[in-house]
Amino acid sequence: MRALKSLQNLIEEFCRLPGIGEKSAQRLAYHVLKNRETYPDSLSQALIEVKEQIKTCPKCFSFTEKSESCEICANPHRSARQICVVEEPFDIAQIESFGKYHGQYHVLGGSLSPLQGIGPDQLKIKELLERLKAENDVEEVILALDADLEGDTTALYIAKLLEETKIRVSRLAHGIPFGTDIDYIDQRTLGRAFENRIDV
C-alpha cells in the first residue's frame, strides 16, 4: 500500500534527522499517527519552543535559554584557567556528565573537513584566538575533539596556531577502551594506544 502523502512527508522529515534511516523514520511516523490526538501538538510545541527560546551563548557558542552567557560561562565557580574545546554543544553534556572537569568551554561548530568545504573560516577558531587574547587567565586549552581524521586535523591546526603562546595545549588521550580485547582493536586505535601509553 502506498503511503499517504502527508504521512510520506512526515517520514521524509524524520529521515533528515542524523542517525535515522528509512525504517526508523517509518516507525516514528506511525507512532505519531497512532497517537495523533495528543502527540503531534506536544511535539510541535516542543519544536517551536526550541526555535524561539534557545540561543547561542556569545562567549562559548554553546546553547542557552538566556539572552546573556550560558550557565557555565556565567558560573563564577568555574575555573578560567582551562578552556575545553569541543566540536558541538552536545559534547559538553557528555563531559559534564563525567563530573571531573570544572573549567570553561569553547564550541567550534564542527571540525575541519576540506572535502566538505569546511575550513577555518566556517568554525569558531578565530573567536577562540580572540578569547584567549582577551582572557589572560587561561593556562591550558584542552582539545576534546573526535578521534577521527577531521578531529586530528583540527587539533593539529589549533595546536600550531597556539605554538607561540605560553598556553599549554593538551588533547584527550585516545587508545584501547577499557574491557576490550586487543584482537578486536583496529590498527589506528592500537597505534594511538601505543603513542599514549603511560607508566605503571
pLDDT in tens, 19-37: 999 999 999 999 999 998 9
Q: What is the structure's pLDDT at 2?
A: 60
Same domain, 109 and 159: yes
Quote the Cα angle for 141-79-124, to 5°. Answer: 40
- Can you say whether residue 109 is alpha, beta or left, with left for phi > 0 and alpha for psi between -120 and 50 degrees? left
Return the C-alpha cell found at 59: 562567549
Whether 121 maps to a domain, the answer reads yes
Please report which confidence band the pLDDT of residue 16 belongs to, taking 50, 70 and 90 as the band edges: very high
Same domain, 45 and 82: no
Under 8 Å between Cβ of 124 and 58: no
Same domain, 41 and 81: no
Whether 58 maps to a domain, the answer reads no
Q: Is the pLDDT at 130 greater than 80, yes or no?
A: yes
First and final C-alpha spacing in the chain: 64
Q: Is the pLDDT at 198 greater than 70, yes or no?
A: no
Q: What is the structure's pLDDT at 126?
A: 97
Whether 150 maps to a domain, the answer reads yes
Instruction: List the CATH number of the domain containing 36.
Output: 1.10.8.420
Q: Is the dihedral of CA 153, 57, 136, 126 positive or negative?
A: positive
Same domain, 45 and 88: no
Q: Is the pLDDT at 121 greater than 70, yes or no?
A: yes
Q: What is the structure's pLDDT at 178?
A: 75
| Residue 110 Cα to chain centre, angstroms | 7
Whether 23 maps to a domain, the answer reads yes
* Counted domains in the chain: 2
Same domain, 91 and 46: no
Q: Is the pLDDT at 200 greater than 80, yes or no?
A: no
63-64 and 55-56 beta bridge pairing: antiparallel
Q: Is the pLDDT at 64 greater than 90, yes or no?
A: yes
Rg of the chain over Cα atoms, rounded to whole angstroms, equals: 21
Same domain, 82 and 166: yes
Whether 131 maps to a domain, the answer reads yes
**Which domain-ending residue is among 51, 69, 85?**
51
Same domain, 39 and 86: no
Closest C-alpha to 148, from 94, 196, 188: 188
- Tell me the mean pLDDT in the region 132-151: 92
Whether 182 maps to a domain, the answer reads no
Three-state DSSP class for 142? strand
Please report which confidence band the pLDDT of residue 177 belongs to, taking 50, 70 and 90 as the band edges: confident
Whether 144 maps to a domain, the answer reads yes
Q: What is the structure's pLDDT at 3?
A: 62
pLDDT per position as a tens digit, 34-59 = 998 989 999 999 999 999 999 999 99
pLDDT, averaged across the chain:
90
Q: Where is average pLDDT lowest: 14-18, 130-134, 174-178?
A: 174-178
Crossing angle (nearest 10°) for helices 22-34 and 39-53? 110
Under 8 Å between Cβ of 150 and 111: yes
Instruction: List the CATH number of the domain containing 126.
Output: 3.40.1360.10
List 143's β-bridge partners, or say none. Answer: 85, 171
Same domain, 44 and 96: no
Same domain, 41 and 90: no
Note down the domain range covering 136. Answer: 77-171
Same domain, 45 and 129: no
Q: What is the structure's pLDDT at 196?
A: 77
